[in-house]
Amino acid sequence: MADKIAPKDLAVRKDDFVLIDVREADEVREDGTIEGAINIPLGQLIRNARQGKLDDLKGKEVVTYCNGGYRGNIGADELGKKGFRATTIDGGYEAWKSANGKEK
């Protein structure tokens, strides 16, 4: 189980993280995303991490998220197994929107 960050805590420190939205592109188009986040769907994220395509992020703190938290947790957990410093938003994008307002 990956570490979690509360939406309000992330809002205060958002610029300290690389934000990765692991939802599918159509979900992001329909519901928006957190400003500055990169969209890499979960399967692609895991594949890219295993193939070393994301190694440039290893020295940074990464926060993954999906709509409700399940896929974001998997993403952070998988990144952690590959040596990344990764966490996820507690409650996902829905919790972020509730706590901080819809961004984009």
pLDDT band at 49 (very low <50, low <70, confident <90, very high): very high
Q: What is the predicted pLDDT for the residue at 103?
A: 55
Please state the rounded mean pLDDT for residues 3-30: 96
Q: What ranges make up the beta strands (E) of 1-104?
A: 3-5, 17-21, 38-39, 61-65, 85-89
User: What pTM value is reported for the model?
Assistant: 0.94
What is the percent of the chain with per-residue pLDDT over 70, rounded to a whole number? 96
Fold of 3-100: Oxidized Rhodanese; domain 1 (3.40.250)
Domain boundaries, the chain: 3-100
User: DSSP letters of 46-75?
Assistant: HHHHHTTTTGGGTTSEEEEE-SSSHHHHHH
